[in-house]
Amino acid sequence: MIKHHLAKLRLRHEISAAEEAGIYAALGEVRSFGPREIVVRAETLLTHSTLLLDGMMCRFKDLKSGERQIAELHIAGDFVDLHSFVLQRLDHEIMAIKRCQAVFVPHDRLRHLTETFPHLARVYWFSTALDAAIHREWVLSLGRRSALARLAALFCELRVRLEIVGMAERSGFVLPLNQMELAECMGLTTVHVNRTLRDLREASLLTFRNKRVEIHDLPGLEKIAEFDPFYLYPGRQPPLD
């Protein structure tokens, strides 16, 4: 049930059989969410964290004008709100992009898990630090990258993250976003996104059609984005003991 989550953890850290059993024991209710359904509302007291099993979710904030900024995309295997364990209330909302399945992990079970397995506590601390690294890269895109480089960087990032959990190849991956949602990720208008996708296609770098990203020239795409996967820490990390 949590194979994608375990794949993420084991790529970077050694996870023992006892730790895996502890993770399974901490799992609670499994829930399904429909497209664009709110999973977590801002400022609501939370007693569990949500582990995404299948589908895609996002964190976002809205202005009173109705404009939306998506702050991060979450894929299968991600804890979408592990930080709620210590914050208890979030300052943003979490929404399902497409039909999703997730499992709730009660905070009292998380507390028991991290107290019983101190190494796992550090692994999950690493996970929240990784989220922060992704946020910094998105800030760089929003603040300094051109529209072309922003989209290129997003596609490069998602390819690596999805490949880690066995859901992407070097040549492409499924991406259940429409152009409006891409615009909300990139701080652009849908017209600008449409034009930029056309530019990527005409440069023979990438085609995004029917919810699928086909990468024609990965080195070229990474060059435009100035993409360095280091911030995703995609390999085995030094021991946390």
User: How do residues 117-164 score in pLDDT, each as one tens digit?
Assistant: 999 999 999 999 999 999 999 999 999 999 999 999 999 999 999 999
Other beta carbons within 10 angstroms of residue 44's beta carbon come to 12
Supply 11's token pair: 């790529």
Other beta carbons within 10 angstroms of residue 228's beta carbon come to 10
Topology annotation, domain 3-129: Jelly Rolls (2.60.120)
The pLDDT value recorded for residue 231 is 98
Cβ-proximal residues to 103 (8 Å cutoff; 6+ apart), any chain: 1, 2, 27, 28, 29, 30, 31, 50, 51, 53
Q: Which residue has the tokens 């991406």?
A: 175
How far apart are alpha carbons 207 and 183 in whole angstroms? 16
Q: Which amino acid, 114?
A: T
Torsion of CA 41, 44, 50, 56, to 10 degrees: 10
Mean pLDDT value across residues 10-15 = 96
How far apart are alpha carbons 167 and 165 in whole angstroms? 6
Give percent of the chain with pLDDT exceeding 90: 99
Same fold, 3-129 and 137-232: no
Torsion of CA 142, 147, 149, 155, to 10 degrees: 90
List, for residues 30-72, the tens digit of each pLDDT value: 999 999 999 999 999 999 999 999 999 999 999 999 999 999 9
List, for residues 178-224, the tens digit of each pLDDT value: 999 999 999 999 999 999 999 999 999 999 999 999 999 999 999 99
List, for residues 65-81, the tens digit of each pLDDT value: 999 999 999 999 999 99
CB 192, CB 211: distance < 8 Å: no
Give percent of the chain with pLDDT exceeding 70: 100
Question: Rounded to the nearest 10 degrees, what angle do helices 190-202 and 179-186 cross at?
Answer: 100
How far apart are alpha carbons 92 and 104 in whole angstroms? 18
Domain boundaries, the chain: 3-129, 137-232
SS3 for 83-128 is CHHHHCCCCCEEEECCCEEEEEEEHHHHHHHHHHCHHHHHHHHHHH
CATH number among 1.10.760.10, 1.10.10.10, 1.20.1250.20, 3.90.1010.10, domain 137-232:
1.10.10.10
pLDDT band at 86 (very low <50, low <70, confident <90, very high): very high
User: Given a cut of 90, is residue 15 above it in pLDDT?
Assistant: yes
| CA–CA distances in Å: residue 236 to residues 80, 155, 240 | 22, 23, 11
The pLDDT value recorded for residue 241 is 79
| CA–CA distances in Å: residue 96 to residues 14, 92, 198, 224 | 30, 14, 27, 30
List, for residues 89-114, the tens digit of each pLDDT value: 999 999 999 999 999 999 999 999 99
User: Given a cut of 90, is residue 1 above it in pLDDT?
Assistant: no
Cβ-proximal residues to 39 (8 Å cutoff; 6+ apart), any chain: 33, 50, 57, 80, 94, 95, 96, 100, 102
If 0-12 CB within 10 Å is exposed, 13-18 middle and 19+ buried, where does residue 54 land? middle
The pLDDT value recorded for residue 25 is 98
